Structure 1
Amino acid sequence: MFSNLLSLRGVAAIVNIFSRQTKLQRNVPNLTNFSTTSVACVNFFNKLPAEKLWKSVTSVSNAGAKKGRGKGAGRIRIRDLNRGQVIGIGRINMLWPGLSAPVIRGRELLKQQRLPDDPERMEKLTKLRDSMTKFRRLRLSPIERGWSGTRMPGRSIGPPDPIGEDEFVGFDTKVLQLRSLLIMKGNLGRTRNYQAMVVTGNGQGLAGFGLGKGKEAVAALRKAKNKAGQKLMHFEIYNGHTVFHDFYTAFGKTKIFVQKKNEGYGLRCHRAIKEICQAIGIKDLRAKLEGSNNLQNIVKAFFIGLLQQRTHQQLAEEKKLHLVEYRAENEYFPTVVASPSKVRTKEEILKDETLDFIQYVMDDRVILRKKKFPRFYEKMPHYKIYLKKYEKYRNHEKIRLMLKTEYGEVKSFLNDRYPEEKVESEA
């Protein structure tokens, strides 16, 4: 095309020169002074990229949201319309060498040609696009679920990232809190950030907690998890299942009363304290929360209380007295738990000195226990009749437990005197 234009211009120039020299009046147009205009096919669909077009129908501005606009914008899901399509293949099934097929196949040079139409192509594309619009609910197993549905608090996010060659083997991280924060800045306006709080531990007395922030929830969780792995603390566990003693701890306006419990009692406490106990390896404990239920204050207060608890040997050395334990299942038989290196005499003990173990470890604090009011039926006459009938059975459970402990079975003292009765009863 360009060679033809150049030849026309050359011919026109020769004709113009010849006409001037010969002074011929010819109606020859001046072909050297023509101009070309290019027309660009620009419309709404090719002026903007697909991301901006989808954003216009799936989002709303802050000012519009305040006025109530775009209430149904969140229901529309972005679809990738290029998915399922191949370059060089369209409605008309053509073979384009170098685009949809190789130029040379074997020793044959391929040529542009039309192939048979595929009647199922549009049906497959429509089915694929419709599948992208369907919302798939996140399915989690009961073990992987958190405190509430599929939300992050209470869920496991794995061990912290390794530091160099050191890996956190046997560690598991649980999310305690994940919330969004709106921060106002002078140059960016109101921006959204995320804050996460997690606890990590190996279940053998080693645990730590961390707080992380980020523009995305995943980044905040990763920062918090790695911070928790860098701030590990070791806690001693009494008999591998509970704390050493009852204690009181507080942080801010949050107060926690922790009680030591027997094996098999379980964890009866706030869900955040339960996750911390599982990370440390504590299996039996009761914790009563008073005051503010701010989660970060609860976590900090409980960790402070665990760090401040003392072993039985430390308490014995501190008081310079023997530490004796009385248990109901042992008929309150005294058992020496710890003894100091040097014991004080009776004359050295002060008259107003605190000798009660629970009162001493609680710093003379007394837990307020509400009085149990009598039930409505206890004042009725039929309840007194019930008590009179039940009076002869009231110690049967204790005696049954004692006989099983002493003889291995429930039997009378007459079984040894009359063994034939025992054989008949077994038969």
Structure 2
Amino acid sequence: MQIQRSSSSFFSRNSGEQIWKGLMSVSNAGRRRGRGRGVNKKNYKDLNRGQIIGVGEKNFLWPGLNAPVIKGSEVVQHQELKQDPKYKENILKIRDQMERRNRTYVHPLERGWSSTKLLGKWIGPPDPIAGDEFVGFDTKVLVMKPIFYMKPNFGRTKKVSVLTVTGNGNGLVGYGVAKSKDVRTAINNSKNKAGQRLFRVELENNHTVLHDFYSRFGGTKVFVEKKPPGYGLSAHRCIRSICNVLGITDIKCTVEGSERNYLNLTRAFLLGLINQKNFQQMADEKKLNVVEFNESLQNYPIVRARPSTDECRTDKQIGANEILDFNIYVHDGKVKEQTELKPMHYTRNKGWTNYMKKWNYRKSRELVRINLIAKYGQLDSYLTIREKQRIETKREMARKSSQASD
């Protein structure tokens, strides 16, 4: 007697994917209770992550793949770049970071404006052009935002807009804006555009601007103040990044109007730097001497520039409505918006009134000292002057009496 047995079973009727799904999955009721949170995580490494065309232990510039075919009016040639001996180590670090749940640790000096985001970070110098490298240059990212626009064929399309600024820290600076569907391409194109639009800015002692100035672009107004060494950068974070790239270390900047439009803010600040005038240009323009009164030198007058023609205008030649105040002249007649400061709470107390009465007679001591030194050449009060005059008159009378007796 022959018995027929079916060879089909649960394992043969279902695919391996379905079997593993039944083994590893969680029911809907269990999922609502918070079970199975790490079930669907991938257990493999993406070996393509971190690998870019033309980048490796030996780096190459491939026109049409990782570089444009034409830059300006020149055709880009295939060339070999500098070798990277630590390429394999960096790739292994990137793959190991995929297994970690926490974010990658970034050193505080390498971070941008906020955490590990790209804004405010250094991204290196622009790519070399015709074999000429940008030695000593570095670039910072100021803006990276998505842009959506409609097309009749493709509908809603997304691109990334990137604004970068590059410089050598010694007066050379340039900015560039680029858009692309790929983030890396947009960053690279923006960095290279910034390197092709460089211009020089004059600085005083390589640490601050030549003078205070006012500048405007669109709805953004910028008031910049010149500061002594050691003051630091007191400005908007976008302007601070431009100063780091440019080499400015001491400045105070106030922004009025639109502060979120970083492109207008960058243009306004760079436009003000370009339109700066040195003291000699001001003296030739006004045909007057430029004199500085510095508080750190007790307001001692210092002549900074004279007209090149050596002919200063007289009081009769100067018009009644002509601006002679330096601050109003360099700010183009504009004045910063003044904020009303409320008096402190302790000014209402009686003790504050008594303190001001005691301090009142000492308020002008420093000014009196300066005036006495300027007038008499030494610290003399009117009492000592009268005493000297009395002694001199006594001596004169004694001299005359002695001559009369003879």
Cα distance between partner residues in 2 of 1:150 and 1:170 = 25
Equivalent position of 2:59 in the other structure: none
Over 3 Å counting, the alpha-carbon distance change for 1:389 and 1:222 in structure 2 is same
Aligned to 1:383: 352
Give 2:284's aligned residue.
317
Q: Residues 186, 341 of structure 1: CA spacing in aligned structure 2 closer, same or farther, 3 A cutoff?
A: same
Alpha carbons of structure 1 residues 349 and 190: separation in structure 2 relative to 1, 3 Å? same
C-alpha distance in structure 1 between counterparts of 2:46 and 2:225, whole Å: 62
CA shift digits 1:105-151 (9 cap, x unpaired): xxxxxxxxxxxxxxxxxxxxxxxx99966434121101110001111
Q: 1:133 to 1:353 in 2, by over 3 A?
A: closer
Of 90, 108, 129, the residue aligned with 1:142 is 108
Counterpart residue number, 1:277: 243
Residue in 2 that maps onto 1:248: 214
d(CA) in 2 for partners of 1:265 and 1:248?
20
Secondary structure of the equivalent of 2:193? helix
- Cα 1:133/1:203, change in 2 over 3 Å: closer
TM-score normalised over the length of structure 1: 0.61
Quick check: 1:288 aligned with 2:254? yes
- The Cα of 1:231 is off from its aligned counterpart by 0.3
**Given residue 321 of structure 1, which amino acid in structure 2 is its aligned partner?**
L
The answer (yes or no) to whether the contact 1:205–1:280 under 8 Å persists in 2 is yes
Distance 1:224 1:253 in 2: 24
- The residue aligned with 1:370 is 339
> Do residues 338 (structure 1) and 338 (structure 2) align?
no
Larger-gyration structure (1/2): 1
* Amino acid corresponding to residue 281 of structure 2 in structure 1: Q
Q: Residue 127 of structure 2 aligns with which residue?
A: 161
Structure 2 distance, partners of 1:351, 1:272, is 41
In the alignment, which of 319, 327, 341 is matched to residue 358 of structure 1?
A: 327
Q: Secondary structure at the match of 1:177?
A: strand
Pick aligned residue for 2:317 from 333, 341, 348: 348
Higher relative contact order (CA 8 A, sep 6+): 2
Tell me, yes or no, if the aligned pair for 1:201 and 1:208 is still in contact at 8 Å: yes
Contact 1:79 1:132 in 2 (8 A): no
Task: Measure the CA separation in 2 of the matches of 1:319 and 1:75.
Answer: 78
Q: CA 1:140–1:322 in 2, change beyond 3 Å: closer, same or farther?
A: same
Match runs of 1:12-411 below 5 Å: 78-80=42-44, 134-293=100-259, 294-342=261-309, 343-346=311-314, 347-387=316-356
Identical amino acids, percent of aligned pairs: 43
Separation in 1 of the partners of 2:343 and 2:111?
A: 41
Tell me how far apart the structure 1 counterparts of residues 46 and 201 of structure 2 sit (CA, whole Å): 57
Segment of structure 1 superposing worse, 347-356 or 208-217: 347-356
2 CA distance for matches of 1:203 and 1:193?
Answer: 31
Give the Cα separation in 1 of the matches to 2:174 and 2:342. Answer: 42
* 1:74–1:226 distance in 2 versus 1, CA, 3 Å: farther
Taking structure 1 as reference, are residues 356 and 74 closer, same or farther at Cα in structure 2, changes over 3 Å only? Answer: farther
User: Structure 1: 5+ residue runs without aligned partners?
Assistant: 1-40, 47-71, 84-128, 403-427
Find the residue that maps to 2:135 and give its secondary structure.
Answer: coil
| C-alpha deviation, 1:168, in angstroms | 0.6
Q: Summarize deviations over 1:305-354 as a string: whole Å, max 9, x none.
A: 11111111111111111111000111111101111112233132223221
TM superposition score normalised by structure 2: 0.64
Distance 1:155 1:318, change over 3 A: same
Closer, same or farther in 2 for the Cα pair 1:73/1:320, shift >3 Å? farther
Paired AA for residue 320 in structure 2? K
Provide the aligned length of Structure 1 versus Structure 2.
291
Alpha-carbon offset, residue 165 of structure 1: 1.6
> Counterpart amino acid of 1:319?
K
1:203-262: CA deviations, max 9, x gaps? Answer: 100010111111121111101000000000100001221111211111111111111122
